[in-house]
Structure 1
Amino acid sequence: MAAKQHLYLVDGSAYIFRAYHRLPPLTDPEGTPVGAVYGYTTMLWKLADDLDKADGPTHLAVILDKGSTSFRNDIYPEYKANRPPPPEDLVPQFPLIRDATRAFSLPCIEEAGLEADDLIASYAREAQRQGWDVTIVSSDKDLMQLVGTAGEGGGRVDMLDTMKSARIGPAEVEEKFGVVPELVGDVLALMGDSVDNVPGIYGIGPKTASKLIAEHGSLTAALDAAPDMKKSKLKERMLEGREMAELSRVLVQLKEDCDLPQPLDDFKLDGVPPEPLAAFLEKHGFSSLLRRLEAGSGSPSRKTDLDPAKQSAGNTAAEHAASRQPLPEMPAVDRSAYECVQTMERLEHWVDRARAARLVAVDTETSALDAMAADLTGISLALGPNDACYIPLRHGGSDMFAEKPDQVDFAQALAALKPLLESDAVLKIGQNIKYDINILARNGIAVAPIDDTMIISFALDAGRSLDGIGGGHGMDELSERHLGHTTLTFKEVCGIGKKQIPFGEVPLDKATEYAAEDADVTWRLHAHLKPRLASEGGTKIYERVDRPLIPVVAQMERHGIKVDRARLAKLSEEFAVETSRLEKEIHTVAGIQFTVGSPKQLGDILFDKLGYKGGRKGKSGQYSTDQAILERLSGEGAEIADKVLEWRQLTKLKSTYTDALQQAINPETGRVHTSYSLVGAQTGRLSSTDPNLQNIPIRTEIGRQIREAFVADAGNVLLAADYSQIELRLAAHMADVDPLREAFAAGEDIHSRTATEMFGEVTRDTRARAKTINFAILYGISRWGLAGRLKVEPDEAQAMIDTYFQRFPGIQRYIHETLESVRARGYSETLFGRKTWFPRISSKNQNERTGSERAAINAPIQGTSADIIKRAMVRMVPALQEAGLDDVRMLLQVHDELVFELPEGDVAAAKPVIERVMAEAAQPSVSLSVPLGIDIGTGVSWGAAH
């Protein structure tokens, strides 16, 4: 037994409700609700994992409420009377949560007539008397009364807030309440608690209560001092409320002398048998947790934690209800098995083995995140579980006199790796391999053929939160989710902040563990995810759209686009002058100078000084001044709101584009190289970062001026090819709307046609309204949302929606059928089979549910649009090459637009090729009943090409 015992008491009741509200409804194979059960189980598992990495317990127990009443109800019948009954689908989960606790072979303590807090207090004090330290896993303010050091043995009590990963000691309690922990109960008695229906004294809030107790030293002293206070509302309330305050003090007092249902020694952690936990997880369909258990990783490594005894090699998990592939049999990750390759002989050995294997996972280590600026530091390879190596290439200090470790000569290493990485006979697997392709391309290696575990995951699980565990596609998250393994992080290896070192200065033993693990985990993920494509219908979208797009986008990033630095600098100056002018005008309207960029100061001006109605304060106590608030005020005629909106747009464009783009110019190429993410948007759209070129305003004069700064090299022009109203065209096809299809086939203006159908005439106003309605309906807009956009009453907006559905019944049918399908299957699907998951489509939270419904209505349309332009991009380069147009380079993809740079003399030949490829991109997989219109323009700048 350890010299110092450390007891952890988990407030299980708090975990239950946190878990219930955290996850969407889930059911087990028998149809029993288990959302809260799953959330509770994962939270308990995570707690165990976190404790192992910090200060693990020697003893642990979970404390639960036995029922909804306690001895406090005998004292004050209205105690907790305001609490609603538990949700109907939570009630059957209570016994299952107890089963979950016992499945971990942990004590599950509860006692009729007592609250969990009383049992926690009694066990904490008993442990202190024996000299033990105690940590209460909770953030409950009532339990903060227990924090501190006491008892004959000097046992310490603190708290652990797992939501914030924060320890709560005496200093934190005093910061929160303004008093030491022993006086927290006195503060609570004065302020009361609306959740538990503890009355307190009406009108006394936390700050006043804290001040009174701090000044007088106790509740009794504060109440005794009330008669001598100056006449005030506070004095009256103190005198009138004394009885309620004293009653409240009894209610908030924790009972610290309960009979203990089980002795402390029963809480000792001596290892957890895996069988009960495995049986519980399998019974309720918690497959990802079962895989983690069977893989022997992802849970704490010490037996004294909540660690089910590990297996040296994981067995395959049983297939579950969703026909998901079981995890292939693999040993646990063993970083000590990796090799650091430091000689040509060993490198050639690995190259020969990789050629024979026909499949190798590859990862590069570099000096920076920017693929167009980073230097290659090393390469890792993996041929199977724990069969991985790291090849350092540029390790050693940056000082020319710094000692360099033994490593293969850079040029010789690349010469040996190049035939392997370019061989058609060997599949190269990467996680976000686009980055590695660009790094290696800059070093003369054209990596192909490829697979990408990040893109495979996206094709399978876009938007999905698997078994309640995150929905991202980064390697660390995929490793946790699918392999139950926690990877080394970059900051663990290189440090953070000022102490961070470049990867090239990491000692080779540590660098090998980190880099080779990346390749090893990538190989394992591929073995797990790739078979799922066939069984879950993801092969078509991955093989025909996403995978062939990777090298295309990588090449676009390497091409980059030229920007006119002088033009940007001039725009920055102009924007600065304009924002200064606007600031002066805003100050004139306000009648006072203030910081326009300060939301707090602006809110005070708008709602306190100028007296505009409808201001609302958030938790911080300041008024909201977001876009919606300012647009509402603008609609009501507030001149200052118009000017602030204009000021915000200008300052944002200045900082995001005209200033930032100058800094983003690559000194070697003289061009800007954005980075495209193939997994950045759930629906499949590409997203652009560093810099983001997709948020430049489309139809404004300012946006046009910024586009004017994107230019072609001398002798070249830019060509912009844009799908015209593609989402409306797809809606006409997918919803089978004859009037819209006819209008597109005849080349009519679709918004004018809608205006005719809706309002009986086409005017500037009716066309503008029709355009707003056309797009808004496809995003599942509500009557209130449409009313806000059109500046009409909600009833009038609803009448417009009703009329729209009467004129175009196919749209209403499409919306209804789409929502029914998503609720039944959990996902939407594009015409090409891309799935987007909506785990919160049936959420109990109305905002989550309605938000998911709106997204689900649009996802098949927007996703199909994204698939079409991706197919066009994949086909574009071969089509241009076949036409002898090798000098035409595709540079940008922005929403529904492709931007090319080409010699001016090639424009006439390139236009029909580009138009044909884009117009026929859906074929032959999908035959659309509407034509895809393409608008093409050219010019010396991107702005001129529009």
Structure 2
Amino acid sequence: MPHLYLVDGSGYIFRAYHQLPPLTNRHGTPAGAVYGYTAMLWKLADALDKAEGPTHLAVVLDKGSHTFRNDLYDKYKAQRPPPPEDLIPQFPLIREATRAFSLPCIEEEGFEADDIIATYTCRAVEAGWDVTIVSSDKDLMQLIQPQVDMLDTMKNERRGAEYVQTKFGVRPDQLGDVLALMGDAVDNVPGVPGIGAKTAAKLIVEYDNLDAVLAAAPDMKPSKMRDSLIEHEAMARLSRKLVALHTDTAVPHTLDELKLEGIPPEPLRAFLEDQGFKTLLSRMAAHAPGRETADPVAAAVAVAESDTPDFIELPPIDCGTYETVTTLDQLDAWIAESHASGTIAIDTETDSLDSMAANLVGICLATKPGRACYIPIGHRSSDDMFGEVPPQLPLAEVVAALRLLLVDPGVLKIGHNIKYDLNVLIRHGLDVTPIDDTMVMSFDLDAGQSLAGHGMDEVAHAVLEHTCISFKDVTGTGKKAISFAQVPLPEATRYGGEDADVTWRLWTRFKPRLAYEGGSRVYEMVDRPLIPVVAGMERAGIKVDRDHLSRLSGQFAQEMARLEEEIQAEAGQPFQIGSTQQLGAILFDKMGLKGGKKGKSGAYSTDVTVLEKMKAEGVVIAGLVLDWRQLSKLKSTYTDALQQQIDRQTGRVHTSYSLTGAQTGRLSSTDPNLQNIPIRTETGRQIRDAFIAEPGHVILAADYSQIELRLAAHMADVPPLRDAFLRGEDIHAATANELFGEVNRDTRGRAKTINFAILYGISRWGLAGRLEIDADEAQAMISRYFERFPGISAYINDTLEGVRRRGHTETLFGRKTWFPQIKSPIQHVRQGAERAAINAPIQGTSADIIKRAMARMGPALTEAGLTGTKMLLQVHDELVFEVPESEVEAAKPVIERVMATAAEPAITLNVPLAIEIGTGASWGAAH
């Protein structure tokens, strides 16, 4: 019996693109996706030839982005980003590759590949043929029937009606109705708001089809779902048309013309020779799969063929081979080599860790492993008085020569913490795009795996088993330390060249792993787009009122003096309150208070947990010390330090954000750390009042409201919480009503504490301490909470079971956080890992969402003509902007829309994201 295989070529293209590094063919054209696509098509044909394979086969591709569905609904696929710039020139070559295999390459204007596949499928079934669709696309699963199955080559898995029933809960012929109700965020199919996959399947099972569901809606029990079905009936019917596969598309070949006659040597050989694909040419000669691991391209293609990535073989690191570039001819040669390579590593050497103040000393480039150079620019003699300046090119000439290379879309620039380099280079007139960051890649793959961190030295040691030249090895330490600008050129070349060389090598290890370990999604959709955005926020900074800070410092000093008197009066003697050793002796030896525990040093512990417990027990001195410590920290960290951190040139404070500082994916900031300003205290507000707008502008603060509770309601599937959010109710009041049967100030306050505490995996003793009740009563509250909200209990159990099995948690965007201590034999260590694991998916998803909002904010504001509105800060769930007074009212809805829809189209939440926006002359006034 004839057996037709229909290959969804578009899926192959994007898989090949994301799984291979950016390669170029012998003409210098990007060809990584072409190479991977060719290898995968070869593998498929080879596997089918050895099995009981097809008698007929065709590869089906999308012709263009506009189809009849766009005419039905102008927003169809509107939110899809355009193809990557380096993929666009590869599409014609991919079509050429298909035809080189002597296979039909079918595409039709105005229709999607799915419609062509559906048309051929129906014609083949009518002719009595069997059909296999080579794809994993859920839309195509509508075609599955007794004579039709699907083949997922990624998982080497055949899928029939049972698979659809298990995954979606309906028959394949009902799947289109389910998709119409639930919508599709990726294709921007609207569906019916509030109806997800489970509800859609339940409705179709009960009523059999969409028409019956919509007809029955008016008679359904009053509910949000009923109202939504009635209100959005037209949109549901439109969605059904959008997801329906057209089976009468005009196709260029008859079924018989798709007969598979084997793959003749020509024109395949000519195509492979023209592209310079030597490994596949050698396979043709051998007539068997093979690899030439000496060829980096051959090793790279193994990524597309195996279940685990094979890495290219790296030559030994030899820092003596790096070149010092001191002439324009040398520089021009390196620029030409960089263009030909298509992928370069870049690193800057400066005289400061502060990217806003650093002088550019040199630039390092690497075009492949073992091939690197150092371009000195700002070196001076180690003897500033009489020494001779080493030979180097003028800054202006280097900038002019590198400008086009660094913005060439055909050349990928790799850095390790490239955000720093972006800020240094743009201050010197050089923009850099497109980029990859091996430090962020390391974090997205291995967050939590190692205590060493993701800096170059640590990662090079862990991944490459290489010990890098340390900074102090070339600059010295202590009084004899010199600036990098004074380092002799041979040593600077070895050090800088190694930075670029190691970065290139790390990229060869991380890029393949991203695809195979599920890291591509969070890296490409969340973190990589954020890098230039955060760099821009750092450069923008925020204005600070020095006089206000000075007054606050004086007030805090007076209040600390008053607290010191009270503390010493309670103690009965003077002592150094900042000395934990003296404080411990006062509390537990002199005053005889309970709870004193000595550490290995022999001193009593007086950390915040000890003092808070004592304060809860009514120990006055403990509360006074906590107040003193908070004022002392705020004074030293903010009111004193901020005055010194105001940039002399800009008059603004420029915090530094880290994309790898918090294990769950949240941004962290340093110099100054803006994450630790108290949120709800008067003291914290006073400090935020120091952050002000320029004249003619206001500060706008946009804050996600209860985002983690909203995500918990979605991720744990908690109908009472979800419905309360959908109705816009006070969630803590709703929880109080569920737990205590009444809502008043006390029960609401307790419900609020419980809502947040449960998400952090709090123990009975922890909750008892927060609510000031005994442990048994706290356990009863936890048990009642889980009874009322069983989804939360199931979420916690499933999360812990998953992390014990896999070693990591995942956010909705696929961000992995590893917990190596989850099976620790030490109870408190294990329990600490469990508490962190419970919250990591929720807090990490929250972080991913605000990051996506940040990456989209600039283009949205620009499109709205709001060029004066600038995003300055990100603190927890809040974004802070400086807005011209004339743009405030226009900016608010744009900012709110971007933040509220940041998860889409990748994720469709079944609860709304609410945004609270305030404005004022200062950050404090905006709240």
Query: TM tier, shorter chain?
Result: 0.5 to 0.7
> How far does residue 842 in structure 1 lie from its aligned partner after superposition?
1.3
Bigger Cα displacement from structure 2, 330-339 vs 585-594: 585-594
In structure 1, what is the equivalent of residue 776 of structure 2?
A: 795
Tell me: CA distance 1:343–1:324, structure 2 relative to 1, closer, same or farther (3 Å): same
Distance in 1, matches of 2:802 and 2:589, equals: 49
- Where 1:583 maps in the other structure, the secondary structure is helix
What is the DSSP-based 3-state SS (H/G/I as helix, E as strand, rest coil) of the residue aligned with 1:379? strand
What's the CA shift for 1:329? 0.6
The answer to whether residue 706 in structure 2 is matched with residue 725 in structure 1 is yes
Q: Which of the residues 435, 439, 448 maps onto 1:454?
A: 439
Deviation at 1:676, TM superposition (A): 0.4
What amino acid maps onto 2:468 in structure 1?
T
**Matches of 2:718 and 2:698 in 1, distance apart?**
40
Looking at structure 2, the residues matched to 439 and 486 of structure 1 have their Cα atoms a distance apart, in angstroms, of: 26
Q: Partner amino acid for 1:403?
A: E
| Residue identity opposite 1:453 in structure 2 | T
2:422 to 399, 417, 437: 437
Counterpart for residue 652 of structure 2: 671
2:528 aligned counterpart, secondary structure: helix
Residue deviations 1:313-338, cap 9 Å, x none?
9999999xx96534321111011110
Q: TM-score of the superposition, structure 2-length normalised?
A: 0.67
Residues 76-135 of structure 1: CA deviation (Å, up to 9, x unaligned) = xxxxxxxxxxxxxxxxxxxxxxxxxxxxxxxxxxxxxxxxxxxxxxxxxxxxxxxxxxxx
Structure with the bigger RCO (C-alpha within 8 Å, sep 6+) is: 2
SS at 2:500's partner residue? Answer: helix
Is 1:328 equivalent to 2:308 in the alignment?
Answer: no
Work out whether residues 564 and 710 of structure 1, in 8 Å CA contact, stay in contact via their aligned partners in 2: yes
**What letter is aligned with 1:376?**
L
- Name the structure 1 match of 2:381: 397
2:330 pairs with 341, 346, 349, which one? 346
Q: How many equivalent pairs are there?
A: 630
- Indicate which of 360, 370, 381 corresponds to 2:354: 370
Partners of 1:599 and 1:409 in 2: CA distance: 55
| Matched AA of 2:851 | K
* Residues 790-845 of structure 1: CA deviation (Å, up to 9, x unaligned): 11111111000000000100000000111111111111111111111112211222
Distance apart, 1:471 and its partner CA: 5.2
Q: Which moved more, 1:549-558 or 1:849-858?
A: 849-858
Verify the 8 A CA contact 2:713 2:911 in the aligned structure 1.
yes
Give yes or no for contact 2:381–2:390 (8 Å, CA) kept in 1.
Answer: no
Output the amino acid matched with 1:796: E
Instruction: Compute the displacement of 1:533 (Å).
Output: 1.2
Aligned position for 1:778 = 759
Matches within 5 A, 1:616-627: 616-627=597-608
Contact 1:463 1:471 in 2 (8 A): no
Q: Distance between the aligned counterparts of 2:769 and 2:311, measured in 1?
A: 50
Range with greater deviation from structure 2 (886-895 or 397-406): 397-406
Amino acid at match of 2:332: E
Matched, 1:571 2:541: no
Letter of the structure 1 residue corresponding to residue 460 of structure 2: S
Q: Could you report, residue by residue, the CA deviation over 1:715-761 in whole angstroms, capped at 9, with x for unpaired residues?
A: 10000000000000000011110110111111111111111111111
Q: Which residue of 1 aligns with 2:801?
A: 820
Q: How far apart are the structure 2 equivalents of 1:718 and 1:626? A: 37
Instruction: Give the AA of the match of 1:358.
Output: G
Amino acid at match of 1:463: G
Alignment correspondent of 2:406:
421
Q: Is the 8 A contact 2:413 2:436 kept in 1?
A: yes
> After TM superposition, where is structure 1 displaced by more than 4 Å over at least 4 residues in a row?
312-319
Shift of 1:645: 0.8
Instruction: Please tell me whether the aligned partners of residues 711 and 940 of structure 1 are also in contact (alpha carbons under 8 angstroms).
Output: yes
Distance 2:470 2:649 in 1: 31
SS state of the match for residue 356, structure 1? helix
Cα displacement (A) at 1:846:
1.6
Are positions 1:337 and 2:321 aligned together? yes
Matched, 1:743 2:724: yes
**Are residue 835 (structure 1) and residue 816 (structure 2) matched?**
yes
Structure 1 window deviating more from structure 2 (690-699 vs 393-402): it is 393-402
Residue in 2 that maps onto 1:636? 617
Q: What SS does the aligned partner of 2:529 have?
A: helix
**Alpha-carbon distance, 1:891 to partner:** 0.2
Paired residue for 1:933?
914
1:402 CA drift (Å): 3.0
Determine if the alignment matches structure 1 residue 610 to structure 2 residue 591.
yes
Q: Which amino acid aligns with 1:373?
A: A
Q: Which residue of 1 aligns with 2:364?
A: 380
Equivalent of 1:888 in 869, 885, 897: 869
Query: Which of residues 726, 730, 733 in structure 2 aligns to 1:752?
Result: 733
Alignment of structure 1 residues 304-315 onto 2, 5 Å: none
Provide closer, same or farther for how the CA distance between residues 929 and 888 of structure 1 changes in structure 2, counting only shifts above 3 A: same
- In structure 2, C-alpha distance between the alignment counterparts of 1:596 and 1:798, rounded to whole Å: 37
**In 1: Cα distance, 2:740 partner to 2:416 partner:** 53
For residues 644 and 479 of structure 1, the distance between their equivalents in structure 2, rounded to whole angstroms, comes to 44
**Where does 1:51-200 land on structure 2 (aligned, <5 Å)?**
none
Which whole-Å CA distance do the structure 1 matches of 2:346 and 2:487 have between them?
Answer: 20
C-alpha separation in 2, matches of 1:630 and 1:852: 24
Amino acid at match of 1:737: V
Unaligned stretches of 5+ residues in structure 1: 1-311
Report how far residue 401 of structure 1 moved: 4.3
Q: Which letter does structure 1 place at the counterpart of 2:606?
A: T
SS of match in other structure, 1:718: strand
How far the C-alpha of 1:400 sits from its partner, in A, is: 5.8
What is the Cα-based RMSD across aligned positions, in Å?
Answer: 1.9
TM-score normalized by the length of structure 1: 0.65
The 2-side partners of 1:926 and 1:632 are apart by 42
Aligned equivalent of 1:475: 456
Alignment counterpart, residue 449 of structure 2, candidates 464, 467, 483 = 464
Structure 2 residue 890 is matched with structure 1 residue 909:
yes
| Deviation for aligned residue 1:553 | 0.3
Q: CA deviation at 1:419?
A: 1.1
Tell me the SS of whatever aligns to 1:382. strand
Distance in 2, Cα, partners of 1:632 & 1:526? 49
Deviations 1:365-398 (A, max 9, x none): 0010000011000000001121100000011137
Quick one: which amino acid aligns to residue 425 of structure 2? L
Letter of the structure 1 residue corresponding to residue 438 of structure 2: T
**Matched residue type, 2:826:** N
Which residue identity lines up with residue 875 of structure 2 in the other structure? Answer: V
**Matches of 2:620 and 2:653, distance apart in 1:** 38
Please say if residues 313 and 332 of structure 1, whose CA atoms lie closer than 8 Å, have aligned partners that are also in contact. Answer: no
Question: Corresponding residue for 2:562?
Answer: 581
Letter in 1 for 2:400: A
What residue number does 2:343 align with?
Answer: 359
Amino acid at match of 2:925: A
Q: Do the aligned residues in 2 keep the contact of 1:453 with 1:522 (CA within 8 Å)?
A: yes
SS of the aligned residue for 2:873 comes to: strand
Listed one character per residue, the Cα deviations across residues 326-367 of structure 1 (whole Å, up to 9, x for unaligned) are: 432111101111001111110111011101111110000001
SS in 2 for 1:679: coil
The separation in 1 between residues aligned to 2:366 and 2:693, in whole angstroms, is 42
Residue 60 of structure 1 is matched in structure 2 by none
8 Å CA contact 1:421, 1:428 repeated in 2: yes
CA contact (8 A) 1:361 1:381 kept: yes
Structure-2 separation of matches of 1:537 and 1:736: 24
1:547 aligned to 2:531? no
Distance 1:619 1:655 in 2: 29
For the Cα contact (< 8 Å) 1:462–1:471, is it kept in 2?
A: no
Q: State the distance in 1 between where 2:555 and 2:386 align.
A: 49
Superposition deviation, residue 528 in structure 1: 1.4
CA–CA separation in structure 1 for the residues paired with 2:443 and 2:411: 24
Q: Is the 8 A contact 1:727 1:861 kept in 2?
A: yes
Contact 1:461 1:471 in 2 (8 A): no
Shift of 1:641: 1.2
